Amino acid sequence: MARDDTVLWEKQLPFDVFQLIGLGNNGHLYICSPQGLWVYTARGREPDGPLARWSRAELLSTSSQLGAVQVSADGTRLCLERTTRQTRTSQKIFEFLASVKVENDSTLHEVIFHNVAEDSINCFYRALSNSPEPQCFLWAASPEFDWIVMAEAHRSEQIKFTIAHVTSQTIYQEFAIFQLRIHDLRVSREGMAMMDVSNGTDRGIITVDADGKKSTLTVPTDFRVLHLGKDFVALKTQPVPFLIVKGFDDSMKLYADMRGLDRLEVDFELQFNQQDAIDLISYGETGFKVVHSNLDFIETDARRWERMAEQKEELAAAPPPPHEVRESAPLSLEIPQRPASPAASYLDRPLIPYRPQRRERAPLTLEGRRTTFDATDPEPEEPTVFGVRPAFPGAVYAAPDSQPAPPETPAPSSNLTLMPEAEGERQRAERLLDMLEERFLMGQVSEPTYLELREKYRARLVSRDT
């Protein structure tokens, strides 16, 4: 979908089971299925088959499997994990790929960068683990694939973390943490690594920058990480939806109550774009909608959605008007007798003959006015009425003797309190924002019009506050 909600392409995918990997800025959509990794172009052209390097047949030839996959922001590159499990049939291949002597029942993890346009690959990192569990090796790359963070589990119950710069192939930080479970792992464009970890009882977020500076963020009991920004971490609590944004110094930057959307029965998802702005995505009876906001206005938007939910509940709880209250008649199979017409009583009355009465009208006379003019008389001036001359020659308008007095303006009542002008303008702008938001959610206003009017009303609110 484009920003104006225009359908670019849609089609029925020929897969019973598949997973959406990502969508690049070039419009390429990547899908993973049991047959391999597929790519659909911006125009939705049907691919000839999965990518040759990551097809099922190619992976089976090396006894490998496809692990986690990430798409770059521009949509031209992939970062993939290829895992190879040591077996009797794959012993030689396994030792060749690992390049070291390994123990039995080991798993080789390879982090590979694949340039789809050039069809070239680069194996960036290899790691060995003694367990096939996914928690044994985790990784995450920045949106442009400049940075990567990796976590390796060892037998000593410690997790080794590595922060590396991909372009220069330089390892910036290596550190270990004991007895932790990793829920989420991310790295930003600036090289800030974030780890959502727990030790069984407590849960927290640890951030480490490229210089090795660590910090710990206090978080609620149940949450999900939405975004790792330039200087903040965005969370969404569950099951009660609250949007929480915390700085790397554990400061509270934002706390927005999103329960109004649940009360409005809106199925929504919060996403952050490359500029750290917020996109609220919803899909319902009115179709696919995207509401654009940011950290400065999302709290105001949340309060407006809460007010809309309150108004909706008040309308639903209010009794219907009296004329709409109807008592249902008992069900009966008998045919009721048709009541007599109201005009039936007049049919028996005798007819009265109609005798039209003739009215005489008084003759029309021009008293006190001359009916003839002499040639020596001066030409009469055209009369005017309130300074307006007649529309055609010879027409005469009679002006009233006296103009009616203008109605008196009643004096304002002493018990009437006038609202300050600034406060009235602010409430008017808030009311317009509420109406605009409601009509946009109902599909009555297009997104370009909604964005233009919303910025106009918000600027009016800001000018009134200042």
The answer to whether position 159 is within a domain reads yes
- Provide the residue-wise pLDDT of the chain in tens; the chain has 466 residues: 445 556 777 888 888 899 999 999 888 999 999 999 999 987 778 888 899 999 999 998 888 899 999 999 999 999 999 998 876 555 555 555 555 555 567 888 999 999 998 999 999 999 888 766 667 899 999 999 999 999 998 766 788 999 999 999 999 999 888 878 899 999 999 999 999 998 878 899 999 999 999 999 999 988 999 999 999 999 999 889 999 999 999 999 999 999 998 888 888 899 998 889 999 988 767 777 888 899 999 998 999 899 988 988 888 887 776 655 555 544 333 434 444 444 444 444 454 454 555 555 555 454 545 545 455 555 555 544 444 454 444 544 444 454 555 555 444 443 334 344 555 777 888 888 888 877 877 667 777 888 888 888 888 777 766 6
- Pull the structure tokens for residue 101: 């002597």
Of the three residues 264, 285, 308, the one that is the final residue of a domain is 264
Host domain of residue 190:
49-264
Q: In angstroms, rounded to a whole number, what is the distance separating the alpha carbons of residues 243 and 294?
A: 12
The answer to whether position 234 is within a domain reads yes
Give the CA distances from residue 160 to residues 152, 200, 231, in Å, rounded to whole numbers and listed in that order: 5, 19, 25
Q: Which of 35, 63, 69, 75 is nearest to 51 (CA)?
A: 35
pTM (predicted TM-score): 0.65
The answer to whether position 65 is within a domain reads yes
The answer to whether position 304 is within a domain reads no
CATH number for 151: 2.120.10
The answer to whether position 96 is within a domain reads yes
Q: Which of 458, 463, 464 is nearest to 300 (CA)?
A: 458
> How many domains does one find in the chain?
2
The answer to whether position 374 is within a domain reads no
Q: In angstroms, rounded to a whole number, what is the distance separating the alpha carbons of residues 230 and 276?
A: 8
The answer to whether position 56 is within a domain reads yes
The answer to whether position 91 is within a domain reads yes
Of the three residues 243, 264, 285, the one that is the final residue of a domain is 264
Of the three residues 264, 287, 312, the one that is the final residue of a domain is 264
